[in-house]
Structure 1
Amino acid sequence: MQAAATKKMTNLETIKGAIAAKMDSAAFSSWIAPLNFEISDDTLVLTAQNQFSADFISGVHGATLNAVAAEFGLAVRIAVRGASVANTVANDNNVQSFAPAATVASDDAAANFDEFVASDENAFVLSACKKLAAGAVAFSPLFIYGPAGCGKSLLARCVANATAGRVVMMSGGEFVSEFTRALHDRTIFAFKDYCRKCDTFIMDDVQMLAGKRATCEEFLQLVVDLRNAGKNVVLTANAAPSNLTGFDHRAKSLLASGLVADVVAPSANARRVILMRAGVASDVATELASRTAADGHLVHGIATKIKAYTELMGAAVDMTVASRLLADTLQRAKTPIAMVRNMCEKLGVSYDAICDRGRARALVMARQTMMAVLKGATNLSLSEIGQYVGGRDHATVVYAIAQVEKQKQGDLVLAAQINQLIAECK
């Protein structure tokens, strides 16, 4: 009897090894290794801690488990600890159809590349998007990043509209919702097929997947599968892959394995063009562009308000009227706290992190840069500047500005970035 038990244990270890050999090591360690393995009545019974884990393993890794178990003449059943009903691993033949939930059409649903007002700094990313959409180049993935309001989503939609073949586009939040729904409805294989049976896959706001391990595993495998199949993948996020929070090194490495291109916030001239295209008079557009934060969403909101006033009141909008209509918006755009928040978006850091006491190199450099910009763009005292950057004291601000000035001497890119920030804050 002891010999039989030893043989059974040996078989289980052999089966575990066979499964591990067919899976990514990280996925095996995260999802399969923690399961309780048991053989009962020619069935490999895998017991998970909870229903979500059971559903995820069944949906994402079910095919692999079935294939390995079949080599040993076994069926597979996934049970939940403490539950009386077990789940049989689904086969591809039993998968239901999948259709994404209906979403509200966005304002840029019919966007084209002519609508993207590109400054010289954005010429590279615009060219990459155009050539990818035309089939002249292939990037898997093309990773586009930048602060809110810089035009990332617009570029992604332009690629979707200009690309031949089947395009699947969804936001990071939609991917999370659809993946969760597919697990709940037991249509995970259909969901996987839906995402993979395309010529171009586009995800906007990848950062929404941060910290969601199961969803992120499925997403990363999707990117790998599409890349291996020669399909295009376009991703957008609010930070470069290396600066994304809530993603491990493996995820960051994969996201950075294609072409990474940044989008800078619209310059004063780009903001002026956006306003003029919306029908704002040239002189008014020029003045508003110089007094508005570098945020495309805000600029479009200003254009909408002016257009609405013109249509509803039947009167043209000059600068006097515009100043009254937009007093709150223009004032907020020029307060020191608004400047700091705007710089947080441009530098890819959170406002809370800037105000905190974290000493990570990127955070320290961002704080020092903001202090130098406030010194160059405002008449604030050094003590006042410190208060707007997390309550730093006078000596800290003096040291920070000196460090930035020293680094600018040998870093022309940094010097240009700071000069641009100062110009936008004035």
Structure 2
Amino acid sequence: MLVSKNIEGRDSGLSVDAAVADETVISGDLEASWRKICSGLRRDLGAQIFGQWIKPITLALFDSGNGSLHLELPSEFAATWVRDRYAERLLLAWKAHHPAVTDLVFQAQSGSAKIARVSPLNGTAAPASRKAVSESKFRLDLDPRMTFDQFIAGHSNILALNAAQRTAAAEKPLFSPLYLQSSTGQGKTHLMHAIGHAFREEFPSSTIIYMSAERFMIEFVSAMRRNEGMEFKASLREADLLMIDDIQFIVGKNSTQEEFLHTVDSLISQGKRVVVAADRPPQALDGVDQRLLSRLSMGLVADIQSAGLELRRDILEHRLASMPHQNVSEEVVDFLARTISRNLRELEGGLNKLLAYAQLTGREITRELAEEQLSDILSACRRRITIDEIQRTVCEYYRLDRNEMSSKRRARAVARPRQVAMYLAKVMTPRSYPEIGRKFGGRDHSTVIHAVKLVEQLRGEDSEMDNDVRMLLRQLES
């Protein structure tokens, strides 16, 4: 049993294996490095995520013998959550700011919690009692959840999906490299992991390298400082499949750009497969060498468009189908799919947060709970749609004169579209019932409440009405 002081001076008992033989009390240098790392993470992750998951971390113990740094969190749930989502980013940050740290161990503050380690080149969690096996310079770290079977296809991503499957197939693809391009959170990384899984299944003895551009740069610079540049280059060029994510972060760095160019040239000339991903097309990469730009453009550039409403709904339903014990109504699914539209990572993250909150508190998952717990995501995603815009769109859809939205006519051909517009005004704008009523000819708030409840009821009973509302929602969100 080792006892150390963390940065707050609290005793923490740590049960570790024989490899951690001598403890080192946390030094001022480590504390200073941690403050710098936190500053960068606060900026990159945002104040809310940083405050919830990163800020509670305390430095517990550093073993200078094997480079292991123990990080403590308030609970085992928090330790597992941070390890699964931020381990590689944290390890890369430590290697950049304090190279002596080569291994991270995440644990709860309770001494009975299990310890999970992140190996420097792997990033996968392993029990602290099992010694990491160094099989090769770059060990493959693929998310088991990111396979082709788990990728939901739609009109916006079908080209990229087909190209990714072709890249991983036994037959030699017609193009190399494959360049996956989309904005953040649309599925690029999922497809790269899926390519890795399928290629490994097709060629079990092949060498696959997958890493982020950030890790590529850090590993390259570290190798050059250790006078191991030739070994680093040789390891890259042994790959049968090389995948680099977020390639936009490599551009502008002359030495790493040059090395990546030569690596791509070498692999392509050998008939090997190369996949890169970026948030912009090759021509929009800032500061890129023209030779590298030519190589990246010579294969297939597969663009992934933003997911539409139907694809977002399909993704949520697919996720929930694997969790039959979770009770989430169609209304909540529809609300999340309509509202969280910026990227799919936010969409799944919002659902996960909602499910975790409901499980930990025992509260029923309702639309009200979703609005309460996901207010930060929802406010960022909502486009500022006005009631005037809703009225105009509804009148065009039902071929009515715009004045009918404020008229006193009660004929069903007029009243029903007006009620639909009131319903849309409530679900798509932050306006209150009285404010909405004033925009519809000065009607009382009770009239708006009745309209909203009636349309909600009709959507469940009348497929034609539900289809009308869905079409209008799609038009207004596009």
- With normalisation by structure 2, the TM-score equals 0.49
Q: CA deviation at 1:142?
A: 0.5
The equivalent of 2:163 in structure 1 is: 128
Is 1:152 matched with 2:188? yes
Q: CA deviation at 1:116?
A: 1.6
Q: How do residues 233-312 of structure 1 correspond to structure 2 at under 5 angstroms?
A: 233-279=274-320, 280-312=328-360
324-333 or 102-111, which deviates more: 102-111
The 1:275/1:226 distance shift into structure 2, 3 A limit, reads: same
Instruction: Report the 3-state secondary structure (helix = DSSP H, G, I; strand = E; otherwise coil) of the residue aligned with 1:278.
Output: helix
Tell me, which stretches of 5 or more residues in structure 2 are unaligned?
Answer: 1-118, 126-140, 321-327, 386-427, 430-472
Is 1:114 matched with 2:149? yes
The 1:331/1:110 distance shift into structure 2, 3 A limit, reads: closer
Match of 1:179 among 206, 215, 220: 220
Contact conserved, 1:278 with 1:303, CA < 8 A, in 2? no
Instruction: Report the 3-state secondary structure (helix = DSSP H, G, I; strand = E; otherwise coil) of the residue aligned with 1:169.
Output: strand
Contact conserved, 2:156 with 2:306, CA < 8 A, in 1? no
Instruction: Report the 3-state secondary structure (helix = DSSP H, G, I; strand = E; otherwise coil) of the residue aligned with 1:202.
Output: strand
The 1:182/1:324 distance shift into structure 2, 3 A limit, reads: same
Letter paired with 2:344 = G
The equivalent of 1:103 in structure 2 is: 123
Over aligned residues, Cα RMSD in angstroms? 2.8
Q: CA deviation at 1:128?
A: 1.1
Instruction: Report the 3-state secondary structure (helix = DSSP H, G, I; strand = E; otherwise coil) of the residue aligned with 2:230.
Output: helix
Contact conserved, 1:143 with 1:235, CA < 8 A, in 2? yes
Letter paired with 2:261 = L
1: CA distance between counterparts of 2:156 and 2:339?
A: 21
230-239 or 129-138, which deviates more: 129-138
Letter paired with 1:129 = A
The 1:424/1:178 distance shift into structure 2, 3 A limit, reads: farther
Q: Deviations over 1:183-216 (max 9, x none)?
A: 0111111111111112111111111101100100
**Percentage identity across paired residues of the two chains:** 33
Q: CA deviation at 1:424?
A: 7.3
307-316 or 235-244, which deviates more: 307-316
Contact conserved, 2:244 with 2:275, CA < 8 A, in 1? yes
Letter paired with 1:317 = I
Match of 1:204 among 225, 237, 245: 245
1: CA distance between counterparts of 2:120 and 2:288?
A: 25
Letter paired with 1:314 = G
Contact conserved, 2:147 with 2:197, CA < 8 A, in 1? yes
Letter paired with 2:264 = V
Match of 1:332 among 380, 384, 390: 380
Letter paired with 1:326 = L
More helix by share: 1
Q: How do residues 200-239 of structure 1 correspond to structure 2 at under 5 angstroms?
A: 200-239=241-280
Q: Deviations over 1:239-294 (max 9, x none)?
A: 11111112032221110011111111222122212222333433211121111123
The number of aligned residues is 249
Q: CA deviation at 1:425?
A: 4.0
Contact conserved, 1:275 with 1:300, CA < 8 A, in 2? yes
2: CA distance between counterparts of 1:237 and 1:109?
A: 22
Is 1:170 matched with 2:211? yes
1: CA distance between counterparts of 2:215 and 2:123?
A: 9
2: CA distance between counterparts of 1:424 and 1:205?
A: 32
Letter paired with 1:124 = L
The equivalent of 1:320 in structure 2 is: 368
Contact conserved, 1:278 with 1:307, CA < 8 A, in 2? no
2: CA distance between counterparts of 1:186 and 1:424?
A: 58
Is 1:140 matched with 2:184? no
1: CA distance between counterparts of 2:384 and 2:183?
A: 18
Q: CA deviation at 1:318?
A: 1.7
Instruction: Report the 3-state secondary structure (helix = DSSP H, G, I; strand = E; otherwise coil) of the residue aligned with 1:111.
Output: coil
2: CA distance between counterparts of 1:112 and 1:203?
A: 17
The 1:137/1:107 distance shift into structure 2, 3 A limit, reads: closer
Q: CA deviation at 1:137?
A: 3.8
Contact conserved, 1:196 with 1:226, CA < 8 A, in 2? yes
Instruction: Report the 3-state secondary structure (helix = DSSP H, G, I; strand = E; otherwise coil) of the residue aligned with 1:120.
Output: coil
Q: CA deviation at 1:150?
A: 0.6
Letter paired with 1:114 = D
Higher relative contact order (CA 8 A, sep 6+): 1
The 1:220/1:424 distance shift into structure 2, 3 A limit, reads: farther
1: CA distance between counterparts of 2:476 and 2:224?
A: 47
- With normalisation by structure 1, the TM-score equals 0.54
The 1:190/1:247 distance shift into structure 2, 3 A limit, reads: same
2: CA distance between counterparts of 1:191 and 1:203?
A: 15
Q: CA deviation at 1:223?
A: 0.2
Q: CA deviation at 1:336?
A: 5.1
Contact conserved, 1:290 with 1:424, CA < 8 A, in 2? no
Q: Deviations over 1:68-99 (max 9, x none)?
A: xxxxxxxxxxxxxxxxxxxxxxxxxxxxxxx9
Match of 1:161 among 197, 220, 226: 197
228-237 or 99-108, which deviates more: 99-108
Letter paired with 2:179 = F
Q: Deviations over 1:150-208 (max 9, x none)?
A: 11011111101110222111111111011101101111111111111121111111111
1: CA distance between counterparts of 2:370 and 2:120?
A: 43
Contact conserved, 1:206 with 1:237, CA < 8 A, in 2? yes
2: CA distance between counterparts of 1:317 and 1:278?
A: 15
Q: How do residues 38-57 of structure 1 correspond to structure 2 at under 5 angstroms?
A: none
